[in-house]
Amino acid sequence: MMEYQRSFEATLFRDESTRKRKAPELARRMIAVLAAKRSWVPRREFAEKHGFSADGRECRLGCMGAHGRIIFGRRGYKLTVASTLEEVQSCLRMIASQIASEQEKHKRISMRAHIGIHSIKRAMA
């Protein structure tokens, strides 16, 4: 069990450092493609024509590493400066919805954990 825990922790830390290291380069590549197109570019196109991962992880990481210079939506990715106000607002609504969903998940897990901790304490008393 200890070996698994060490392996799991090493994976977490390695992934975090990999994210920090790869995000700026992925962002630069995405920005170059988006600047040339000046329109929406689907994730599939990034994968097929520009060497990004097919699962979308590298696109999400590149978008995160762009620090707001890239928006996303159902049609793919687009430079913020080339976007309309409506497109930016749509992206912001999607982010707000994701945040609300994660907050709800956090609330439910916290409640279950709280109930579980008290059940254990009562059983031990």
Q: Tens digit of pLDDT for each residue in 24-44?
A: 999 999 999 999 999 999 999
Q: What is the CATH number of the domain that holds 44?
A: 1.10.10
In this structure, the answer to whether residues 91 and 74 fall within a common structural domain is no
pLDDT of residue 13: 47
Give the pLDDT confidence of 39-80 residue by residue, as tens digits. 999 999 999 999 999 999 999 999 999 999 999 999 999 999
In this structure, the answer to whether residues 76 and 28 fall within a common structural domain is yes
Retrieve residue 4's tokens: 């698994």
Q: Residue 123: which domain range?
A: 84-125
In this structure, the answer to whether residues 60 and 115 fall within a common structural domain is no
pLDDT level of residue 4 (50, 70, 90 thresholds): low
In this structure, the answer to whether residues 71 and 27 fall within a common structural domain is yes
In this structure, the answer to whether residues 29 and 47 fall within a common structural domain is yes
pLDDT for residue 93 is more than 90: yes
pLDDT level of residue 6 (50, 70, 90 thresholds): low
Q: What is the pTM of this model?
A: 0.74
In this structure, the answer to whether residues 89 and 55 fall within a common structural domain is no
- The count of domains in the chain is 2
